[in-house]
């Protein structure tokens, strides 16, 4: 069925259709409409699950962990400060290997206090052991929530499904909402292990001995995250077969002959697609690499796409103060051992929801094409 939905509503719709059984959540701009929409569904009797209003994001995640350990499919959503507050429990979730799916709407972290999009909130959670999927548009957000349940429940690792504040969360787009029957076929009822057994009580999150016990658990989580790459690919292929849409961990656009490949994530990728077209029309050999999966990081895909390309320009809507844009760092480290690695040019653009227009992207590409060597520090793009 075709529908007009904002990114937040698209996620809420996917959660309903995924039949999440428990949704503990706490409102925060710009994620609040997800919460509101799910509450509305609950009051109308169309939500298969139960919402719980908790006292904080920390508690929301604690409740998700406990319920998930007891075999319940759960969902929560948050942004920015809420995610920061949740940080401690994010480690508990991944350490307890609970397949929680969380909607994250990127918003700047205070201070200064503001509301626009900035990926630093989710990228700050890079090392919490969660999978992270950055979505380009509302359709992808919907599809990724459905896929994320499959991926998380197969890997027993939690997932963040991430969209940009306002560009995705509040902008309404036409999209396809599949039949519930088809969703049910793709994503059956959760069959999670039920660990809550009164007759065989157990303590989870117990103290372990440092060498013999701690290390194997971490190593196991690491290898399972590596295996997740294969599962992500399989699930995506299956989804494409069923619904006609797939995304891959990365997507390449006209990279084969490119002199310059632009690397983007999230909503600015749509703009970049247009900018690439315009530059091609001018005869410039420019391509695009969209990174969707950030954790696990698609090193092989990135290497395949970018080795032998002379130049790469990365636009980051985030900043790691003291280094550079975070996608840029990750790209560099992924390519370092390649035999023919490109020169990588880092740009910081669109912080706090500033528009990254086609002109900005074209200008970046032109600048990089005319520049022999990259700067050591990222270049800050401050507007048209």
Partner 1 sequence: MTTQENLRAADYETIIPVSRANTKVFKTGQWSQKKPTHHPKLSPCREACPVGNNIPGALAHVSKGDYNAALALILQENPLPGICGRVCYHPCQTSCNRNQFDETVEIRSLERAIADYGCATPQICSSPTDNKTTIAVIGSGPAGLSAAYFLALFGHRVTIFESRAEPGGVLRYGIPEYRLPGEVLNREIGRILALGIDLEKGVRIDSERLDDLQDRFEYIFLGTGAWLPQKTGLSSENRETIQYGLDFLSHEKKEIFCQGKKNIVVIGGGDVAVDVARTARRLCGPGTVITMIAPEKEGDFPAIPEGLAEAEDERIRIIGEYQPIEFIGNSHLEKVRFVRTKVEKDRVTGRYTLLPGDGNDLLVDADLVLIAIGQLPDTGLFLPEIVDKDFSKVFVNDLGMTPSSRFYAGGDLTRKRPAVADAILSGKRAALSIHLKANGYDPEIIIPALTLGQGSSLSISAYIEAGLIDLKKVVQFAELNTLLYRKTGAEHGTKSPPETRRTDFSEVNGGLERKAAIDEAKRCFYCGSCIGCDLCFLLCPDISIAKEGDRIYRVDKDYCKGCSICATVCPRHVIEMEESQ
CB of 70 closer than 8 Å to CB of 195: yes
Single residue of 231, 250, 288, 334 touching partner 1 by CB under 8 A: 231
Single residue of 202, 212, 321, 373 touching partner 1 by CB under 8 A: 202
Closest distance to partner 1 from the beta carbon of 157 (Å) = 10
Q: Which of 287, 326, 285 is nearest to 305 (CA)?
A: 287
With tokens 């719709």, the residue in question is: 13
Q: Give yes or no for residue 246 binding partner 1 (CB under 8 A).
A: no
With respect to partner 1, which residue has the nearer C-beta, 173 or 224? 224
Single residue of 177, 221, 278, 284 touching partner 1 by CB under 8 A: 221
Q: Give yes or no for residue 248 binding partner 1 (CB under 8 A).
A: no
Closest distance to partner 1 from the beta carbon of 41 (Å) = 29
H or E, element range at 289: strand 286-291
How many CA atoms lie less than 13 Å away from 124 in the CB half-sphere?
22
With respect to partner 1, which residue has the nearer C-beta, 44 or 206? 206
Q: Give yes or no for residue 227 binding partner 1 (CB under 8 A).
A: yes
With respect to partner 1, which residue has the nearer C-beta, 19 or 150? 150
Residue span binding partner 1 (CB under 8 A) among the ranges 29-37, 92-100, 118-126, 159-167:
92-100
CA distances from 316 to 150, 192, 334, 378 (A): 29, 37, 16, 9
Sorted by sequence, the CB contacts under 8 Å of residue 135 that are 6+ apart come out as 7, 141, 144, 161, 162, 163, 168, 266, 292
Per-residue x/- marks for partner 1, 145-184, CB under 8 A? -----x---xxx----------------------------
Tell me how many residues contact partner 1 (CB under 8 A).
30
* Residue 176 phi, psi dihedral angles, 5° rounding: -100, 125
Q: Give yes or no for residue 198 binding partner 1 (CB under 8 A).
A: no
Distance of CA 3 to the CA centre of its chain: 23
Residue span binding partner 1 (CB under 8 A) among the ranges 181-189, 232-240, 243-251, 302-310:
232-240
CB of 273 closer than 8 Å to CB of 306: no
Q: Is the peptide bond before 296 cis (omega within 30 degrees of 0)?
A: yes
Residue span binding partner 1 (CB under 8 A) among the ranges 22-30, 42-50, 73-81, 194-202:
194-202
With respect to partner 1, which residue has the nearer C-beta, 228 or 361? 228
Q: Is the peptide bond before 270 cis (omega within 30 degrees of 0)?
A: no
H or E, element range at 275: helix 268-281
Single residue of 3, 70, 81, 95 touching partner 1 by CB under 8 A: 95
Kindly state the DSSP code that residue 74 receives in the 8-state scheme: B
Single residue of 203, 244, 321, 339 touching partner 1 by CB under 8 A: 203
Where do contacts with partner 1 occur on this chain (CB under 8 A)? Answer: 95-97, 150, 154-156, 191, 193, 195, 200-208, 213, 217, 220-221, 224, 227, 230-231, 234-235, 238
């Amino acid at each position: 069925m075709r529908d007009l939905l904002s990114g937040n509503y698209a996620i809420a719709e996917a959660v309903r259709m995924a039949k999440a059984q428990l949704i503990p959540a706490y409102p925060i701009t710009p994620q609040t409409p997800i919460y509101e929409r799910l509450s509305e569904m609950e009051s109308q009797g169309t939500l298969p699950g139960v919402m719980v209003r908790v006292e904080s994001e920390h508690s929301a995640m604690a409740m998700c962990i406990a319920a998930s350990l007891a075999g319940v499919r759960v969902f929560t959503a948050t942004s920015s400060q809420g995610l920061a507050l949740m940080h401690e429990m994010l480690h508990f979730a991944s350490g307890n290997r609970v397949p929680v799916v969380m909607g994250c709407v990127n918003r700047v972290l205070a201070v200064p206090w503001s509301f626009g999009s900035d990926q630093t909130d989710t990228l700050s959670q890079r090392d919490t052991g969660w999978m992270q999927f950055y979505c380009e548009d509302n359709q992808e957000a919907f599809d990724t929530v459905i896929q994320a349940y499959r991926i998380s429940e197969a890997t027993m690792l939690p997932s963040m499904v991430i969209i940009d504040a306002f560009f995705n969360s509040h902008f309404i787009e036409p999209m396809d909402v599949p039949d519930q029957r088809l969703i049910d076929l793709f994503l059956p009822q959760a069959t999670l292990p039920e660990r809550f057994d009164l007759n065989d009580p157990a303590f989870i999150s117990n103290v372990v001995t440092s060498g013999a016990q701690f290390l194997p658990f971490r190593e196991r989580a690491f290898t399972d995250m590596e295996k997740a790459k294969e599962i992500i690919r399989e699930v995506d292929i299956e989804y494409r077969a069923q619904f006609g849409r797939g995304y891959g961990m990365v997507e390449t656009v006209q990279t084969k002959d490119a002199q310059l490949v632009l690397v983007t994530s999230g909503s600015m990728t749509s703009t970049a697609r247009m900018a690439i077209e315009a530059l091609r029309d001018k005869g410039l050999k420019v391509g695009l690499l969209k990174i969707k999966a950030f954790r696990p990081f698609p090193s092989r895909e990135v290497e395949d796409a970018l080795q032998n390309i002379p130049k790469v320009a990365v636009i980051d809507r985030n900043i790691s103060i003291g280094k550079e844009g975070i996608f840029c760092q990750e790209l560099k480290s992924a390519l370092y051992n390649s035999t023919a690695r490109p020169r990588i040019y880092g740009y910081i653009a669109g912080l706090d929801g500033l528009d990254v227009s086609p002109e900005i992207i074209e200008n970046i590409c032109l600048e990089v094409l005319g520049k022999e060597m990259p700067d050591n520090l990222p270049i800050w793009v401050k507007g048209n």
